[in-house]
Amino acid sequence: MGKALGSEPLGKVLYSGHRPRRRREWRGLKDTWYDYTRWLYYLFTLGKFMMKPNNFKGFFRYRWMSNYLAVPDFMDRHTEGLRGTALRLAHEGIGLIVLDMTLSLTDMFKADPEIGNDTELSKKMVIFDENMMSTLMGGFPNLKWVSYEVPAIYSSSFMCQNGVMHYIDKTHEFGVPTDVCPMPAAELGAALEDDFPLIGACAVQCNTTCDGSLMGGGLMAQSMGIPTFQLAAPIRHRQESVQEYAGEEVLNAIKFIEEHTGEKFDWDYLFKNMARFNEETKEFLEWLEINKSPYPQLLGATLGFYRYGVYMAAGGRSQLFLDTDKKITALATKAYQNKEMACKEYRHRAILWGVQAAYYTAFPNWLMNCWGILPINDMLCCVSTEMVSTTDKHQALLDLGHLYENMIMRNRSNGGYETGVEDLFRLCEQMNVDMVIMYVHIGCKAMSGYHGLFEEEARRRGLHWIWVNHNLMVPLDGTRRDMRTEVNRYMRTIMKEEPVDPSLEEFDDSLCW
Amino acid sequence: MKDLKHLYYFEKLLQDTYNDLARQAQGEGKYAIGHVCFQIPEPLLNLPGCFSVRLRAPQTGSIEMGTYYMSSTLCEACRAYLERAIEGGFNFLDCIIAPDACAQMNRCVENIEKLHTSPKENFFVTYSDVPMKSDESALRHYVKQMRIHVLEPLHEKLGIDISDAALRKAVEEQNEISALLTAIGDYRKCDNPVITGYEFAVLCLSSYCSPKHLIKEKLQETLEELKTRVPDEKNPYRIRVVMVGSEIDDPEFIKLAEECGALVVADRYCFGSLPGRQVIELNEEEDALTQICRTYIEWGKCPRFFNQEKILERREYVDMLAKEYHADGLIYEQIKFCDYWGYERAAAFHIMDEEYGWPTLSVDRPYAVRSSGQLRTRIQAFVERVELKKINANKAKQ
């Protein structure tokens, strides 16, 4: 037990079969102290958040808010087994997301007619879809971008594995089949339950992610009670012939927002934000370069969560994110130079493809700690790394169109074989991996349609391919333990390996957050 | 009623994707163009020198290979098409022109392509991005996509004439068939129709799966026959319904509903005639391609159109059909695993009933339905519910 990586049998120390009330891991004095101070910081942040009367009321108004009681546990899960720089990178990246979330919730509750009822603030808010990038709001300095589906559904499910089951049940009761993706189903359920704040001057929806998401959005629009614009980003987004339309749709969205808020789009402000966005992209490219090396630093959930926050939510509009980016790059570069490791043994380098289970975002940490499988990159991070023009308006529109075509998840679930299959194998070569952890999200028809083609191509290339079934936000359909079992079986029977930490091979976390 | 003279002939055409008429047209030197979705306007695929065949998998049995390649949670129709392609059932096609409309059908076509199922050396597949809204930006995009991903490949790879005149000729040919089918379909509005929903579905489906010029004569004769066809003295059906939903490429489902006592008087489903078998009006001022695309955008009733105007329009359209065809209720059906119709029918089940006042049955179904006792039971129960409602309403009037 101590400072060294893998010095604790984590399965025995952290998992008792009950919901954890105490979850401290001994990481040696320095790291434990650091981790403890961060834990205090999260507690302080949450305490400060709850001290505000609007937030306090919001906590009791919305069922999904109870999931945020698990924030400290969420952080513990995503730093499990980490030491040194890897631990700091996780706290820097994911910690900022937590802070950003509290700020966003504070605004939402302030504007909420049932809570703060700040109508002036509400009139300055533009509601965006959950999986829709905030980027174009970078041209409206006086407006606030809000995506209430993110705290209500998306991150709720990260915090607590059963966190949105109630809403999914509501949607199924409404009559939507149980085979659709649980994410839009949960969002529709929350809308049916009247569990979203009725705020905003107008809303912009997008044909994000998948057919189910699009349909859920269409139904939800009727419950929002504000004008909504549907931004149709082209599906076949690798084709040159669609790019003009993509840009035109962004322009249509801008005009819509102008019309319904009375605000004028400020190109200079956009260019300033896009310059920051480009800087963030450059930082991300640095991280990928480091990850190509034998000493990758930003791994698994740290990379995934943070990239989501920067790319989708921040969208170049916050200096805090760029500052954190630079801090992360500095830490990661130093750790790379010092040949620091993130887990005890590096046995395999893997790309995580498909859609991750929202209820088990700490799965990559388990892969590292239990089997020494390094999650070098995952599909959700493989988004556009193109620069956005900061001088030419027309080109900027095309670039924004390109970004909206390449939103997280959507850019892989849409676009055809070249984006879903070919790119994966190209990335495998680039990132020098020998294994693919292929998430099979049961409700995701887009990726499932390549099942056979994936297998055949992996066989041809001699890549290890592990299918991991889950149902995104419905842990009953493929529990965390089931997911681990699929890896365990492959590692035992095909790879004939012994786990790095045998205590993690089999444990019960069904009652955990 | 006495059987329609050509019903067996049309039914036989539906027994095989590569039917006698497709063989005949290929024998005449025409190219066979496979298509999978309403969103590629049919006239573009029926230019002089080629004919369109909508992919189907009649008499589907096992779909194990399709399931292996596409997994068990995807639309059975898509899996069945892939299975049929692997079996060689689409070997006669010279190309497939596909839109990226629903992800599942797109995956199906991609699998057909990537698995190299076609033995033809010059076989090709194109994918186009089709609009999800119905505004002017979308129309411009649609026209561009149809030009680049449909017309130009047909011209470059098969030498097809894609001139404005050729497009107008193709529209004219389709209009003839559409006018015939509309005239035939209008008989369903009668109190005691001289054509059943099943019979109409067979005729309509044949028009999607056969070279149009080769079925014209038989359709004309059928229309003539209907003018004098004597209906059964006592209407054997207990209620009249509009069938709404995802694709029905097997009229057996319509037959099943009618065997339960629900006469299908209007077909608002993919592969149906409403919309799709109306006349396309062209003027001389604007180019034909733009006009065709505009018509198809206006016709489009697929739930993938997600702007609010279109969502409302779909419901209004069904309501209008139900009134025009004197329906007693609606059946919203969906092939299992179809995301679009999964949501659409769930919403319609509430909205069409509560806001429009139509008794609505909402069902999902497998691809091959003939032996589904479960479906039969659900439709029977619906028929009884609607019939009871009618009886009670009549009593109340008296």
Residue B157: CB atoms within 10 Å: 15
pLDDT in tens, A315-333: 899 999 999 999 999 999 9
Q: Are the C-beta atoms of residues B39 and B101 closer than 8 Å to each other?
A: yes
**pLDDT bracket for residue B22 (50, 70, 90):** very high
pLDDT of res. B121: 93
Q: Are the C-beta atoms of residues B133 and B310 closer than 8 Å to each other?
A: yes
Asked if B100 and A416 come within 8 Å (Cβ–Cβ), the reply is yes
pLDDT of res. A16: 77
Cα maximum dimension of chain B: 71
Closest alpha carbon within chain A to B149: A241
Asked if A207 and B132 come within 8 Å (Cβ–Cβ), the reply is yes
Say if residue A271's pLDDT is above 90: yes
Say if residue B393's pLDDT is above 70: yes
Whether B255 has its CB under 8 Å from any CB of chain A: the answer is no
Q: How far apart are CA A223 and CA A490, in angstroms?
A: 46
pLDDT of res. B356: 97
Mean pLDDT along residues B205-227: 96
Q: How far apart are CA A432 and CA A276, in angstroms?
A: 30
Whether A215 has its CB under 8 Å from any CB of chain B: the answer is yes
Q: Are the C-beta atoms of residues A436 and A458 closer than 8 Å to each other?
A: yes
Residues in chain B with CB shorter than 8 Å from the CB of A207 are: 132, 306
In B345-374, the residues whose Cβ lies within 8 Å of chain A are 345-347, 349-350, 362, 364
C-alpha to C-alpha distances, B321 to A409, B38, B199, B314, B328, nearest whole angstrom: 39, 20, 19, 11, 11
Residues in chain A with CB shorter than 8 Å from the CB of B364 are: 177
Residues 6+ apart with CB under 8 A from B342: A176, A177, A179, A180, A212, A215, B334, B364
Asked if A453 and B102 come within 8 Å (Cβ–Cβ), the reply is no
Mean pLDDT along residues B188-202: 96
**pLDDT bracket for residue B142 (50, 70, 90):** very high
Query: Tokens 């969560």 appear where?
Result: A305
Question: Nearest CA to A437 among A494, A483, A384, A506?
Answer: A483
Q: How far apart are CA A328 and CA A297, in angstroms?
A: 10
pLDDT of res. B156: 97
Of B141, B336, B362, the CB nearest to A175: B362
The values of phi and psi at residue B218, to 5°, are: -65, -35
Closest alpha carbon within chain B to A249: B137
pLDDT of res. B310: 93
Which residues partner with B50 through β-bridges?
A: B31
Most confident of A209-218, A303-312, B111-120: B111-120
pLDDT of res. A95: 84
Mean pLDDT along residues B342-362: 95
Tokens of B314: 């779909």
Q: Are the C-beta atoms of residues B347 and A184 closer than 8 Å to each other?
A: no
Average pLDDT, rounded, for chain A: 91
pLDDT of res. B380: 96
Lowest mean pLDDT among A169-173, A200-204, A248-252, A307-311: A307-311
Q: How far apart are CA B195 and CA A190, in angstroms?
A: 46
Domain residue spans in chain A?
10-504
pLDDT of res. A489: 97
With a pLDDT cut of 90, the percent of chain B lying above it is: 90
Q: Are the C-beta atoms of residues B194 and B318 closer than 8 Å to each other?
A: no
Residues in chain B with CB shorter than 8 Å from the CB of A187 are: none
Whether A173 has its CB under 8 Å from any CB of chain B: the answer is no
pLDDT of res. B109: 97
- Is the pLDDT higher at A18 or at A274? A274
Mean pLDDT along residues A175-187: 92
Residue A498: CB atoms within 10 Å: 10
With a pLDDT cut of 70, the percent of chain B lying above it is: 100
Say if residue A1's pLDDT is above 60: no
Question: Nearest CA to A349 among A293, A309, A404?
Answer: A293
Which residues partner with A467 through β-bridges?
A: A438
Asked if A234 and B129 come within 8 Å (Cβ–Cβ), the reply is yes
pLDDT of res. A144: 94
Of B74, B128, B308, the CB nearest to A228: B308
pLDDT of res. A303: 87
Asked if A445 and B339 come within 8 Å (Cβ–Cβ), the reply is yes
- Can you tell me whether residue A154 is helix, strand or coil? helix
Whether B342 has its CB under 8 Å from any CB of chain A: the answer is yes
Q: How far apart are CA A399 and CA A501, in angstroms?
A: 46
Q: Are the C-beta atoms of residues B356 and B319 closer than 8 Å to each other?
A: yes
Average pLDDT, rounded, for chain B: 95
For residue B3, give the amino acid letter: D
Q: How far apart are CA A73 and CA A22, in angstroms?
A: 9
Q: Are the C-beta atoms of residues B50 and B154 closer than 8 Å to each other?
A: yes
pLDDT of res. B197: 97
Mean pLDDT along residues B147-157: 98
- Is the pLDDT higher at B177 or at B232? B177
* Geometric angle at alpha carbon A389, from A244 and A263, rounded to 5°: 80
A197 cis-preceded (ω within 30 degrees of 0):
no
Asked if B129 and A241 come within 8 Å (Cβ–Cβ), the reply is yes
CB pairs under 8 A between A and B: 157
Rg (CA), chain A: 22
Q: How far apart are CA A162 and CA A152, in angstroms?
A: 13
With a pLDDT cut of 70, the percent of chain A lying above it is: 99
Residue A322: CB atoms within 10 Å: 18
Interface test with B, best of A211, A240, A405, A459 (most B CBs within 10 A): A211
In B103-122, the residues whose Cβ lies within 8 Å of chain A are 103-104, 106-108, 110-111, 114-115
pLDDT of res. A302: 86
Tokens of A184: 């839009």
Q: How far apart are CA B42 and CA B61, in angstroms?
A: 29
Asked if A417 and B102 come within 8 Å (Cβ–Cβ), the reply is no
Of B103, B133, B346, the CB nearest to A210: B103
Tell me the whole-structure pTM to 2 decimals: 0.94
pLDDT in tens, B49-68: 999 999 999 988 899 999 99
Question: Nearest CA to A412 among A209, A215, A231?
Answer: A209
Q: How far apart are CA A130 and CA B241, in angstroms?
A: 38
Which residues partner with A228 through β-bridges?
A: A203
pLDDT in tens, B284-339: 999 999 999 999 999 999 999 988 899 999 999 999 999 999 999 999 999 999 99
- Can you tell me whether residue B133 is helix, strand or coil? coil
- Can you tell me whether residue A496 is helix, strand or coil? coil
With a pLDDT cut of 90, the percent of chain A lying above it is: 71
Q: Are the C-beta atoms of residues A149 and A129 closer than 8 Å to each other?
A: yes
Residues 6+ apart with CB under 8 A from B94: B31, B32, B33, B50, B120, B122, B123, B158
pLDDT in tens, A279-294: 999 999 999 999 999 9
pLDDT in tens, A78-129: 999 899 999 999 998 888 888 888 999 999 999 999 999 999 999 999 999 8
Asked if A175 and B349 come within 8 Å (Cβ–Cβ), the reply is yes
pLDDT in tens, B32-41: 999 999 999 9
pLDDT of res. A260: 96
Helix segments in B131-211, DSSP class H: 136-146, 152-158, 164-186, 197-209
Q: How far apart are CA A361 and CA A475, in angstroms?
A: 12
pLDDT of res. B204: 97
Mean pLDDT along residues B269-273: 95
Rg (CA), chain B: 21
pLDDT in tens, A428-444: 999 999 999 999 998 88
pLDDT in tens, B82-114: 999 999 999 999 999 999 888 999 999 999 999
Residues in chain B with CB shorter than 8 Å from the CB of A129 are: none
Interface test with A, best of B343, B352, B364 (most A CBs within 10 A): B343
Question: Nearest CA to A70 among A104, A33, A20?
Answer: A20
Say if residue B178's pLDDT is above 60: yes
Q: How far apart are CA A155 and CA A65, in angstroms?
A: 10
Residues 6+ apart with CB under 8 A from A83: A3, A4, A5, A27, A28, A31
User: B210: exposed, middle or buried (C-beta count within 10 Å: 0-12, 13-18, 19+)?
Assistant: buried
